[in-house]
Every structure is written in structure tokens, then in C-alpha cells.
Amino acid sequence: MTLSTEYERLSLPLEHAFTISRSTQTTADNVVVRIEDDEGNVGVGGAAPSKHYGETADTVEAVMPDLLDVVESVDDPHALARIEREMKETVNRNPAARCAVSIALHDLVAKRADLPLYRYWGLDPEDTLETSFTIGIDTTEVMREKTAEAVEAGYNTLKVKVGTDRDGEIVGAIRDEAPDATIRVDANQAWSPREAVGKIEVLAEYDVEFVEQPIPAENPDGMRFVRERSALPIAADESCITLEDIPRIAGQADIANLKLMKCGGLREAMRMIHTAKAHGMEVMLGCMIESNASIAAACHLAPLLDYADLDGSLLLSEDEYEGVPMPNGSIGLKTGRPGTGVQKQ
Ligand SMILES: [Mg+2]
């Protein structure tokens, strides 16, 4: 077989400027990889690099030729374990870059089998989930307006970014605007341990589902301190990057928040899901701001998850790829095309 490969950079404009406790962005630079077999099947995968984890579109483009050399030299898309292992030996860091290739290969092999990826994996499409829709930090009034828009668009689960000096006010306003919604919050490491315990007590009054990464990942004892005193379940995101982190965060968090772009591929994500469950944790799959070139693949893991936060493409004002449909936020696997379901709009 002869596999041919190519990649291109996409600059994706966001619908609204996206602010979290540490940063604001108005565009997302993704890199899309295509891998074609000699029968004309094309696998597509995206990298959504995050500066927080040391990657940019430039670093993805810099290592991509080496990663695609691995794919071309193995020359068998079904050798997923070998290719992922050899990619990691070639480029140990750069998880988003490796992830784009992992996704493109999974899309390709499922297309070769003429099956949607979840069926290639043998998963039950009835066990799907609803994604949350994220409300970024802004003035309380604008956050209230964004909430009204999200509710109007049919989203029932909202993830609210906090880490300001008015977190209680924000969540109170959002609860007021969306009385029936499930609300989860994400502090992106903004609080100190004692501050977190106090804030969580206030947030619990607004029927919040859980709190993501209340304090810095570098403070595992602080995470444990917060969890022991928290009125709400705690999710670990910045503390939970690769498989090796799972045993470390057991006891610090109730929920492991995985992201494909942190862990470097679909096989690693699957290992993390099972390991987290073995450590008594629930599992959420989150995302960066991403095109459907990568979100589509993440959707196929939904039957293995407890929570989904896969709104990366929903936050874009345009995405040249369409993926798995999400009517009212519900991840619709059943109607799927072969592979991840990704296709050019
Ligand atoms: Mg987070």
C-alpha cells in the first residue's frame, strides 16, 4: 500500500472573543492532516495546539513532516499501536501534532471498514451524551446575554468560566437566566485552596454540578485540601494531561477531564478513560477551541464517558469541516457517516 499525506494550517475565527481566567483569544489556529490510501479513502484529523501545554500552530507544523514520515514508512494505517508508539519515540512532546495524525488514521481505517468509528470500536451509540456549551468570562451582563443565546439555541448544559472577583454574581446571574440548565464551572486554576473552599460554598447555592480545576495543577496537596472540604465534586483538567497523571490525581479529584490535544491520541485517551474508572473517578472529555476535523473523533468516545465538553467547533463563527451533528448539544452518533463523520462543509 502507498499512503500519501499532507497538512494545512487553518485560522479559525471565533464567534465571540473567548476569555478564561488566564487569557483571551479571538481566533484559533489549527492544523489539519490528510492521509490517503491507494483506494482513494482519505482520513482527516486536526491539531488544536494550546500554548499552555507548550504548543502553537508553528510547533505543530515544525514536527509534522517527521510524524508523517513515520506514517509513510510504516505504510499500514491499521498498525495504529505501532505508529502511535513510533511517533512518540520520534517526537515525545507535541501531543496535539501527534493527535492530528492519530485521528486521521482512525478516520481512515474506519472508512476502509465502511463503519462509523464508534462501530469500529464496538461502542453503543445509545450511550451518547450532551455536550456542555461554554460561556467565557465577560461582564456579568454580557455573560447573561450569552447564556440567553445558548438557552435559545437549545443547549441544556452550560460550562461557565470563572476566576474573577465576582464569581458568585456571575453564576447567580446565569442561574437566573437559565433556571433549568445544568451548570458546571471552570476556574482554570485561578483560586487559592482556601479561597476555593469559600467560593465553592457560594456556588453550591446555585445548584452547580461540579467545579473544574479550582487551583493550580502544581499544588496537588491543595487540590486534595479543596476536595476534602468541597460541597461540590471536583474535576481535574490542567492536573490531568497523560496516562501517568491518572494515578497521581486519584484522591485529588472526582472527575478526570481528558482532552485529545493534551494526551496525544485516541488510543492514549482510551487508556486514560479505563484507568480513571479503575481509580474510581468519573471521566469527562473536553477540548480546546477546535475544528470538527478533531472534534468529530472525540464525539465517538462519548459512549465511554460520564460528561462531554465538546463545544470546540460550536464556538467558531465558521468551520470548514462538519462532523457529528449535535442538535441541542446532544451528540448524534447514530446517523453517522463512515469514519469520524468529518467532511468539508
Ligand atoms: Mg478546563
Cα-to-centroid distance, 32 and ligand 1 (Å): 23
Cα-to-centroid distance, 178 and ligand 1 (Å): 21
Cα-to-centroid distance, 37 and ligand 1 (Å): 36
Cα-to-centroid distance, 65 and ligand 1 (Å): 30
pLDDT for position 336: 86
Cα-to-centroid distance, 275 and ligand 1 (Å): 20
Cα-to-centroid distance, 203 and ligand 1 (Å): 17
Cα-to-centroid distance, 287 and ligand 1 (Å): 9
pLDDT for position 27: 94
Q: Where in the chain are all domains bearing CATH 3.30.390.10?
A: 4-115
Cα-to-centroid distance, 243 and ligand 1 (Å): 17
pLDDT for position 156: 96
Cα-to-centroid distance, 119 and ligand 1 (Å): 29
Q: Where in the chain are all domains bearing CATH 3.20.20.120?
A: 120-344
With left for phi above 0 and alpha for psi between -120 and 50, is residue 239 left, alpha or beta? alpha
Cα-to-centroid distance, 52 and ligand 1 (Å): 12
The CATH H-level (homologous superfamily) assignment of domain 4-115 is Enolase-like, N-terminal domain (3.30.390.10)
Q: What cell numbers appear for 66 in the block?
A: 517527521
Q: What cell numbers appear for 40 in the block?
A: 482513494
What CATH class is the domain 120-344? alpha beta
Cα-to-centroid distance, 83 and ligand 1 (Å): 29
pLDDT for position 1: 83
Please name the residues in contact with 165: beta carbons below 8 A apart, sequence gap of 6 or more.
none
Cα-to-centroid distance, 181 and ligand 1 (Å): 19
Cα-to-centroid distance, 257 and ligand 1 (Å): 8
pLDDT for position 335: 78
Cα-to-centroid distance, 150 and ligand 1 (Å): 19
Cα-to-centroid distance, 188 and ligand 1 (Å): 6
pLDDT of the chain, 345 residues: tens digit per residue: 899 999 999 999 999 999 998 899 999 999 999 999 999 999 999 999 999 999 999 999 999 999 999 999 999 999 999 999 999 999 989 999 999 999 999 999 999 999 999 999 999 999 999 999 999 999 999 999 999 999 999 999 999 999 999 999 999 999 999 999 999 999 999 999 999 999 999 999 999 999 999 999 999 999 999 999 999 999 999 999 999 999 999 999 999 999 999 999 999 999 999 999 999 999 999 999 999 999 999 999 999 999 999 999 999 999 999 999 999 999 999 978 999 999 998
